[in-house]
Structure 1
Amino acid sequence: MKYIHVDSVEPGEHLGKTIFASSGAILLSKDVQLTVFMINTLRRIGVTMLYIKDPNLADVEILDVISEETKQLVMKRMGETFDSIRSGKEINSRSFSISIDQLLEEVMKNKDVLIQLSDIRTKDNEMYVHATNVCMMSVLVGIEMGLSPGQLKELAIGGLLHDIGKIEYSCDDGSEDLRRHHTWRGFDVIKNKREYSLLIAHVAFQHHEHVDGEGLPRKLTGEQIHLYAKIVAVANVYDNLLFDLSQGRRMLPHEACEHLMALSGTKLDHEVLTHFLKTISVYPTGTSVRLSTKETGVVVGQHRGLPGRPIVRIVRQDANIKELEVKEMDLAKLTTVFIEQVLV
């Protein structure tokens, strides 16, 4: 598969990964042959990037930390949870807990897989996909930092619910009233739920605090910010850099990683960030790149210890013999070859 912009998709190509709605329902199934109408509809609902099948990359497997089935289940339970809060009903904490246990089990099993945030987002599902990704990334960082199973579950719940205050938060007049900030709203919602610890409420409360004391809502510094909130803060910023247009131009993963490093010790905790960067695929599998050799190819493999040095497949048409020439370049071994540009 290749990961390309929706404007580069041609009618007749086949979708590589399923697109889900916020409820977890399938909007468009993997393997479907795309039509002009489907492509235009994807643009209309806010899809920008998607996976497309490529016969030259048929053997390339996109490894995910959690399966599509688990993502679908978690998003469904999140939708139910948010609906309960909107209507003032009790949260079905048991079903929510079961979905989190399933997510944790898969993350633990796939903890050595580098994160590739390649979910196909729509205006309808973006809040749920964002929360699921923040949760997944936070748990992987927690594993790196040696947190216990109980702590990982608290962190996972905090990651999923970190933006829960947004479902009640509405401020169109630019007011800086901190009591209206979604972190206060989220804290107020979670702290009143007996099934969740106060630490989980503090993730919603503190994930916009900065270690230099310039964050919101209380301008906490360093050790005043709980570790869970520091972890969720890094995951939250990274996901927003890749997908949230309110941040400005959407960044590519390698650009986002550089941006995060520039925030180390000011906006983000240095130790947490160091662990986070070990879990990220800087050049995700399926990405088209141009090398310093001026050859273009597609990333087909990763190295856990060297996320910035992937394996790149070069496919060329030999005009004389009318056959495809295929070679793979392992940048972990070819130390003088570099990725010059990501092609989107």
Structure 2
Amino acid sequence: MRYIHVDNVEPGQFLGRTIFSANGAVLLSEGVQLTVFMITTLRRIGVTMVYIKDELFEDVEIVDIVSEETKRAVMQRMGETYESIRSGKEINTKQLNLSVDHLLEEILKNKEVLMQLSDIRSQDNEKYVHSLNVCMMSVLIGIHMGLSSNQLRELATGALLHDVGKLELVTDDESPDPKKHHTWRGFEVLKQKRELSLLIAHVAFQHHETMDGQGVPRALNGEEIHLYAKIVAVANTYDNLLFDAATGKRMLPHEACEHMMVLAGGKLDREVVIQFLRTVSIYPTGTSVKLSTRETGVVVGQHRGLPGRPVVRVVRNGDSNDFEVKEVDLAKQTTVFIDSVLQ
């Protein structure tokens, strides 16, 4: 299958991956034949990228570090947790911890898989997909940094709840009063939940602090910021670069990774960024690219440790309307480069 912009989807094509709502309900199932109405609806609800089935790439498998079933379960649990916080009820920590444990189990099992943030987002599910992505990236970084099981559990929970302050009606990130920033409000909410570690509350509190001491809400310097918050800051920054819910602007993964390297050491912790770059796919599987040979193709495979040198399948018309197919392994063909990403 191929990963393409919704504006390039044509009626009659078949959806490659299921699209879910915030509560895990199916909006469109994998394999459905798309109509003009469906494509228009996808644009209206804020979907920008989708997977499309393609006979020439039907063998291409998108390997996820976490199953769709587990993702849906975690997003549903997040919805329940957010609703408990919003209504002032006690968080069902037993169920939340159970969901986090299942998530950690799958990530640890698939920790060698390069992560690609390819879940299809809509205006409805964006905040849950964002928090889940930040959580998964944070855990992978934490694994590479040698955190213990208990630390990974705290980190994962903090990452899932890092934006909980945005539920507060009094939040105003543009206010000169730092106590109205969503990070401060999130800390105030979570620190009152005795069933949660205070470190989890500090993830919400500090994830917008920066190494140069110019962050918010308290302008802490690098030594004063907890490691969990430094990790979540990196994951949060990357996911926001890929999809800015406020403006709708987005960077491609390779552009976002280059931007992250610029921020390393100034805004973001350098060591955390280095470990982050070991976890993500710069050119996600299914992405169409143009090579330095002027050939175009689709990324069909990844190399652990060489995220910028994937395997690209090039398809072109041959004699008698047949297709000529070849695969270019950029890890072996070192003089060939990806020139641009096509959408």
Per the normalisation by structure 1, the TM-score is: 0.98
Q: For each residue in 1:56-103, what CA deviation from the matched residue of structure 2 results, as whole angstroms up to 9, or x when unmatched?
A: 001110000101111100000000011111111111111111111110
Q: In structure 2, how many angstroms separate the alpha carbons of the residues matched to 1:85 and 1:173?
A: 20
How many angstroms apart in 2 are the aligned matches of 1:38 and 1:211? 45
Supply the AA of the counterpart residue of 2:326. K
The CA deviation at 1:329 is 0.3
Deviation at 1:197, TM superposition (A): 0.7
Partner residue in 1 for 2:152: 152
Seq. identity, %: 70
Once the two structures are TM-superposed, the CA of residue 192 in structure 1 deviates from its matched residue by 0.8
User: Offset of 1:172 from its aligned partner?
Assistant: 6.3
1:25 alignment partner AA: A
Which whole-Å CA distance do the structure 2 matches of 1:54 and 1:325 have between them?
15
Does the C-alpha gap of structure 1 residues 247 and 254 become closer, same or farther in structure 2, counting only changes over 3 Å? farther
Q: Structure 1 residues 60 and 139, CA, compared in 2 at 3 Å: closer, same or farther?
A: same
Measured against aligned partners, the alpha-carbon deviations of 1:275-318 in whole angstroms (never above 9, x if no partner) come to 00011100000000000000000000000110000000001111
How far did residue 244 of structure 1 move?
0.8
TM-score when scaled to structure 2?
0.98
1:334 aligns to what? 333
Partner of 2:273: 273
- Distance of 2:173 and 2:302 partners within structure 1: 46
Q: Secondary structure at the match of 1:321?
A: helix
CA RMSD after TM alignment: 1.2
Correspondences of 1:241-252 after superposition (within 5 Å): 241-246=241-246, 249-252=249-252
In the alignment, is the contact (CA less than 8 A) between 1:240 and 1:247 conserved in 2? no
Structure 2: tracts of 5 or more residues without a match: none
Structure 2 partner of 1:114: 114
- Which secondary structure does the structure 1 equivalent of 2:320 belong to? coil
Could you tell me whether the CA contact under 8 Å between 1:169 and 1:180 is conserved in 2?
A: no
Residues 131-210 of structure 1 correspond to what in structure 2 (within 5 A)?
131-170=131-170, 174-210=174-210
Aligned residue identity for 2:266:
T
Q: Shift of the alpha carbon at 1:227?
A: 0.3
Change (3 A) 1:37 1:244: same
Q: Which residue number in structure 2 is paired with residue 236 of structure 1?
A: 236
The runs of 5 or more residues in structure 1 that have no matched partner are: none
CA separation of 1:260/1:327 partners in 2, compared to 1, >3 Å: closer, same or farther?
same
- The answer on 1:220 being equivalent to 2:229 is no
Residue 128 of structure 2 is matched in structure 1 by: 128
| 126-135 vs 242-251, which moves further | 242-251
| Alpha-carbon distance in structure 2 between the residues aligned to 1:248 and 1:8 | 18
One-letter amino acid of the counterpart of residue 234, structure 1: V
Q: Distance in 2 between matches of 1:109 and 1:15?
A: 28
Q: Is the 8 A contact 2:295 2:314 kept in 1?
A: yes
**SS across alignment from 1:326:** strand
The CA distance in 1 between the partners of 2:172 and 2:311, in whole Å, is 47
> d(CA) in 1 for partners of 2:285 and 2:174?
41
